[in-house]
Structure 1
Amino acid sequence: MFSKEKFPGLLALGIFTFMSTLDGSIVNIALPSMAREMHLDMGQVTWSVTIYLVVISGLILLFGRLGDLIGKTKIFNYGSLLFTFGSLLAGINLGLHFLLFARIIQAIGASMTMSNSFGITSQLFEPALRARAMSIMSMFVSLGSIAGPAIGGFILQIASWSYIFWINVPLGIIAYLVGRKALPEDEGSGSVKDADLLGATQMFLTIVAFFIAVSLGQAQGFMTVPVILSFVAMVALFIWFIHTEKTVEKPLLNLNIFSSKLFSMSVLTSMTMFTAGSFVNILMPFYLQDYRGAAAGFAGMVMMAYPVGMFIFSPIAGILSDKFDKEIITFFAISGVLIVQLGYLMVGSVTALPVVMLILFIHGGSVGFFQSPNNALVMSTVETKYLGIAGSVNALGRNLGFVLGTTLATTVLFVAMSGQIGHRVSGYVKSQPEVFLHGMHVAFYVALALVIFAWGLSSYRLLTRKKSA
């Protein structure tokens, strides 16, 4: 399918894409062990997850722009080294502050690789093979996003939490050495001096305000004064950022790329699908372990049906997307996810676990069919000199979708459970398991609404294209 010269480069990109997305979720399952060994409470150790996502999301546009200016491969290679070094540091138990420092190093490296991986892929492969290459990249992205709890649970059964980070080190070194030889050389179209540092600062502060608002909202409720003020600050900073990008000579984010309806709708559709997909990550472990009483290891094996479906169908989607209409394939993929969402609403106390695995498998396969052509559509709409920033916008939308989905899933779940039981609930109620099932179904109705919105966007994109053709 790919030439011997280009496959090693794609493999190097895929490994780092997988590791950087995996590290956003794999740590969650290790938090109890980390809290015990470092003598911290869960609130403190959870910052190791939050700070990783904040730094990645806040810097991803900057490094995407730097990739366009001084070379995407150069930024990617530096990021590879930084991420691997941060992983080595993160596994050393020297207390919370050292862990947070290591996670920041990791996140900076992850942001550098994430923001440029799709741009490098677009440079490495000609249009006739691009969707197939994107399918491999999409597979690594989604596998990293969903497989964290299962892989983390397996590691914790045989080793300490440090190895959740240290496993990245040998993989990172191998991928870096392969990438040094196999990735294309590009000089970029400018210099570091052309970077819009004011815009980058504004975007970083906007992301920080967003995470503060979301974190406080989950802890205190979304109608409290600090949360409202945080959201107001986020909106004000974002407006300031947009004003800056319109007025500076060399902006961080060239807003003209959004003039392409195909680009804008493809990014929004992707973000919505990742938001809806995050509900599964949150709700199904509760359902399997607490409601059905499955052991953590077994629950992880059941959840692996999702990435297995994606692993099988992503490459198939890539091959089909290079031969047939990408927008039609994307539409049918979202239709598959829509049908699967109805399946989650039917899951109950006596649903056979093989049926649950089948639902997860079809969901993963449908998402695999969606991501490959949709990413190819995103990257096909921009000039070569903007591939880095376009890829970073796509990655930022994916990260924000993951955060929004996690927040929405937990908020809707516990609000619905609280309404059912008559007082505030912030965890599983063992004495009344039916309350959780009610909350889970309400949350999946919200996920269904999000998928319907994405399906509507895809339908509109397809219909308006046909009319204008």
Structure 2
Amino acid sequence: GLLAFVLAYRYLPADRRGPKTDRAGFDIVGTLLLALALGAYALAMTIGRGSFGPLNIALLVAAVFGAGFFVLVEARVASPLIRLGAFRNAMLSASLATSALVATVMMVTLVVGPFYLSRALGLDAALVGIVMSVGPLVAALTGVPAGRIADRFGAGRITIIGLIAIAAGCFILSVMPAISGIPGYIAPIAVITSGYALFQTANNAAVMSDIRPDQRGVVSGLLNLSRNLGLITGASAMGAVFAFASEAIDIATARAEAVAAGMRITFAVAAILIVVALAIAVGSRALTARPSLPGVS
């Protein structure tokens, strides 16, 4: 963290600001409402030790009401934290939705992977860690080439290709038998994570290139928010799908065959989610590319 601070201070260009004409204050009420809504949602998705009880339901209801009040406040204040009109941009709304869905699926690899590797394939903890490190390593090594590819062939096109790769990897895992062993798990995970690197880079580039400079900070925050909401949802909802599909009271002691079946079903659901994200991405591209009717802006 200290090294990152020093490098940023040394190499990032200084902000150049013109004279400040807008004296509207910071949206304190909106910020508090958003924080409370997000906190309630995070707690609703993570507490309960595997059971979704009355407290989880109450927190989820609180999150919904908090989000509703946040929208009402943002529509009325002079200087809103998030300008709701920005969501009329089809590209932005589609990118946020696809980012959340993709993050939900990527969390599956982190939640389901350790159980499958240890229970179904019988690996010890050290080997599980080594195999699990392949995905993040592939994503890290693919990041910079993904940026160059997106610059050359277009961010929108590479976004679609990245989603297709993630869907293909999930589909392969949903039909992969346990006898394929470690290589049968690593290969599709490499496809998923490389596709994720392509999607993430291209999706962010497509959004940020279409946003006014004074809105880039807010939109960057929204992209991070959608990704984190997807990670929270993936850890809980997709973890529940895995536990349910494994038909085990305690997943840590489930039979190898049950864990393998649960893994395949969970990645089948993940593939469906990516197909939905792909449909949203393709639909938004078609909508933004469609010419306007004469006299209609």
Q: Same fold (TM over 0.5)?
A: yes
Partner of 1:467: 290
CA deviation string 1:252-311 (max 9, x = no partner) = 111222121111111111111011111011111111122212122212222222123223
TM-score (norm 2): 0.90
Measure how far apart 1:187 and its partner are: 5.6
- The secondary structure found in structure 1 opposite 2:286 is helix
C-alpha distance in structure 2 between counterparts of 1:300 and 1:228, whole Å: 35
Q: Which runs of structure 2 are paired with 1:18-417 in the superposition (5 Å)? A: 172-186=1-15, 194-216=25-47, 219-221=50-52, 224-417=53-246
Conserved? CA contact 1:206–1:234, under 8 Å? yes
User: Against the structure 1 CA distance between its residues 190 and 400, is the aligned structure 2 distance closer, same or farther, given a 3 Å change threshold?
Assistant: farther
Conserved? CA contact 2:117–2:128, under 8 Å? yes
CA deviation string 1:215-269 (max 9, x = no partner) = 2465432xx3322222221111111100100100011111222121111111111
C-alpha distance in structure 2 between counterparts of 1:261 and 1:190, whole Å: 30
Conserved? CA contact 2:40–2:62, under 8 Å? yes
Measure how far apart 1:191 and its partner are: 8.9
C-alpha distance in structure 2 between counterparts of 1:306 and 1:374, whole Å: 20
User: Against the structure 1 CA distance between its residues 193 and 249, is the aligned structure 2 distance closer, same or farther, given a 3 Å change threshold?
Assistant: closer
Q: Which runs of structure 2 are paired with 1:439-458 in the superposition (5 Å)? A: 439-458=262-281
Question: Aligned pair count?
Answer: 290
- The secondary structure found in structure 1 opposite 2:13 is coil
Conserved? CA contact 1:275–1:406, under 8 Å? yes
| Uncovered stretches (5+) of structure 1, i.e. residues with no partner | 1-171
C-alpha distance in structure 1 between counterparts of 2:86 and 2:64, whole Å: 21
C-alpha distance in structure 2 between counterparts of 1:192 and 1:185, whole Å: 22
C-alpha distance in structure 2 between counterparts of 1:363 and 1:374, whole Å: 16
CA deviation string 1:345-391 (max 9, x = no partner) = 12332113123221111211111111111001121222111111111
Aligned alpha-carbon RMSD (Å):
2.1
Structure 1 runs (4+) greater than 4 angstroms displaced: 187-193
C-alpha distance in structure 2 between counterparts of 1:367 and 1:338, whole Å: 10
C-alpha distance in structure 2 between counterparts of 1:245 and 1:283, whole Å: 38
- The secondary structure found in structure 2 opposite 1:468 is coil
What amino acid is the match of 1:273?
A: V
What amino acid is the match of 2:32?
A: T
Paired-residue identity, %: 24
Measure how far apart 1:190 and its partner are: 7.6
Measure how far apart 1:465 and its partner are: 3.3
What amino acid is the match of 2:269?
A: V
CA deviation string 1:400-429 (max 9, x = no partner) = 1111111122111112233xx5xxx13222
User: Against the structure 1 CA distance between its residues 429 and 348, is the aligned structure 2 distance closer, same or farther, given a 3 Å change threshold?
Assistant: farther
Conserved? CA contact 2:90–2:287, under 8 Å? no
CA deviation string 1:26-80 (max 9, x = no partner) = xxxxxxxxxxxxxxxxxxxxxxxxxxxxxxxxxxxxxxxxxxxxxxxxxxxxxxx
C-alpha distance in structure 2 between counterparts of 1:303 and 1:216, whole Å: 25
User: Against the structure 1 CA distance between its residues 190 and 175, is the aligned structure 2 distance closer, same or farther, given a 3 Å change threshold?
Assistant: farther
C-alpha distance in structure 1 between counterparts of 2:165 and 2:131, whole Å: 20
| Uncovered stretches (5+) of structure 2, i.e. residues with no partner | 293-297
C-alpha distance in structure 1 between counterparts of 2:270 and 2:10, whole Å: 43
